[in-house]
Structure 1
């Protein structure tokens, strides 16, 4: 009840009648992000999110996460960030929902961590958490990176092909190496996106989805990069921006679970 931010879904109250209990949240008229990205065969949902909407949704979610990580005392880690937990207003602005798995830290440093039982949704769970059971704010940053890849590609975290199920990072990595952004971008967008902004978004997503937490940015850094990405898309400018440190990373692909 004390957590309030424009990019977090507000808890209105609760109801209890005999054995029936419910939490009441503000109404989000456009449902959740998963419905708009992956349920296009639904007759009630025939529109495709445009490129600018996708960037804005990512920025909104990052700002909500930044409030949890850096604006709350003690900081809060969400633990289950995924498209179905990102809800959309009538103007397609995003708010993070479902804090059922959230945990608070005793300190506000980015390196603080707690040992915890594994929780979250397969594919979005920090691979470092799988290995060590140690949770910190960068665990949410990893999940955010996976969601950003889903926004960019229009594909879900687990991609099925004829042979096996691939994790989205495993699928996108060779595409990045090929250097053809049009093989990465959701084909439903056609040519309605800025190539430079798209590459920037891919860099941000890969930065967030690094194997270890030390290699990932704080979510406040992600917000700054996304704002630049949105500005580049809106203005369609060719000016150079600060590049992310991509060349030296060594990435081990997570298993699809």
Structure 2
């Protein structure tokens, strides 16, 4: 099945923050047989719409990968998909522009206050940009996306655990230093 309208407002979270895709009104069956696409009237939300699908009218499973990449960019940057006040109005173009400048801190959601593993963030940004590639041939499939996101999450959790271990060691060192310990004779 090709959803055709993957966007942040169509991803619902339950009380455990488990994501559920909603609004299948534009979806099409992907039973394509030997074909890699189906021709259909172009439908979807501006900004999330696969440019190749928009240009050709040929819908493919990779069209949803593009849209998912845009959602990832929204999550990472906390930026609107389309914003006419930016130097580059579309989020993928803006992110590419900012990546060329090499400063990840200008791309990241400022609400994170730098509290992230830059290695996992770079990987997530690279993945999002691969998904949002204008050419469907250069996009990963969803299996590859899931594997890469799991690796990013593992890296992030590992960094947090290391930081917690350091915090607990330094706090125990502080408490030991502040205790009245008899000196050795």
What TM-score results when the alignment is normalised by the length of structure 2?
0.82
Name the SS for the 2:79 alignment partner.
coil
Q: CA RMSD in A?
A: 1.7
Say whether 1:195 aligns with 2:124.
no
CA drift of 1:156 comes to 1.3
Gaps of at least 5 residues in structure 1 are: 1-75, 238-257
CA drift of 1:106 comes to 2.5
CA drift of 1:108 comes to 6.1
| 2:32 aligned residue | 107
Superposition pairs of residues 155-166 of structure 1, within 5 angstroms: 155-161=79-85, 166=89
CA drift of 1:160 comes to 2.9
Gaps of at least 5 residues in structure 2 are: 161-185
CA drift of 1:185 comes to 0.3
Runs of 4 or more, structure 1, over 3 Å off, are none
Matched residue count: 160
Superimposed CA distance per residue, residues 197-244 of structure 1 (whole angstroms, 9 cap, x where no aligned partner) = 11011000010011111111111110000000000000029xxxxxxx
CA drift of 1:92 comes to 1.6
CA drift of 1:130 comes to 1.3
Superposition pairs of residues 178-193 of structure 1, within 5 angstroms: 178-193=101-116
Separation (CA, whole Å) in 2 of partners of 1:112 and 1:205: 22
Say whether 1:205 aligns with 2:147.
no
Superposition pairs of residues 18-57 of structure 1, within 5 angstroms: none
| 2:152 aligned residue | 229
Name the SS for the 2:89 alignment partner.
strand
What TM-score results when the alignment is normalised by the length of structure 1?
0.60
Separation (CA, whole Å) in 1 of partners of 2:8 and 2:62: 18
| 2:17 aligned residue | 92
| 2:170 aligned residue | none
Say whether 1:127 aligns with 2:51.
yes
Structure number, greater radius of gyration: 2
Separation (CA, whole Å) in 2 of partners of 1:225 and 1:123: 24
Superimposed CA distance per residue, residues 68-95 of structure 1 (whole angstroms, 9 cap, x where no aligned partner) = xxxxxxxx00000001100011122211
